[in-house]
Amino acid sequence: MMNTKKLTKLSKQHPRLTVRTLATLMAIKDNEGCSVSELSQFMGVNEKNVATTIRRLEEGREGSGDVKLIKVKQNKEDKRFKLIWLSAKGKALVKRL
């Protein structure tokens, strides 16, 4: 996980990406296929905050305009949970960071 100073610097370089969004994308990169609950535990952040960021990323409202940076799929084993991956565009973005 990146430190806050580096995330703030990256956020200034990519104005459409908040520090929270960048931290979430980096955490997804390190934990692809995880649930919101697992992601919030990994990040040490409130699950509601992570869920809000994930919803905005999934809808394409946060990050790079209409570009969807993540993919969310329902867990086949437990339909109550959604699992999160970076989309191809999300992977390309994170790679540039």
**DSSP tag of 56:** H
Tell me: the pLDDT tens digits for 11-63? 777 777 888 888 999 999 999 999 999 999 999 999 999 999 999 888 876 65
- Report whether pLDDT(86) > 80: yes
Report whether 74 contacts 82 (CB < 8 A): yes
Backbone angles phi, psi at 78, to 5 degrees: -145, 100
Could you tell me which CATH number the domain at 4-96 has? 1.10.10.10
Q: Where are the domains of the chain?
A: 4-96
Residue-level pLDDT at 8: 75
Token digits of residue 4? 């806050």
pTM reported for the whole predicted model: 0.82
How deeply is 23 buried, as exposed, middle or buried, from its count of CB atoms within 10 A (0-12, 13-18, 19+)? buried
Q: How far apart are CA 46 and CA 67, in angstroms?
A: 25
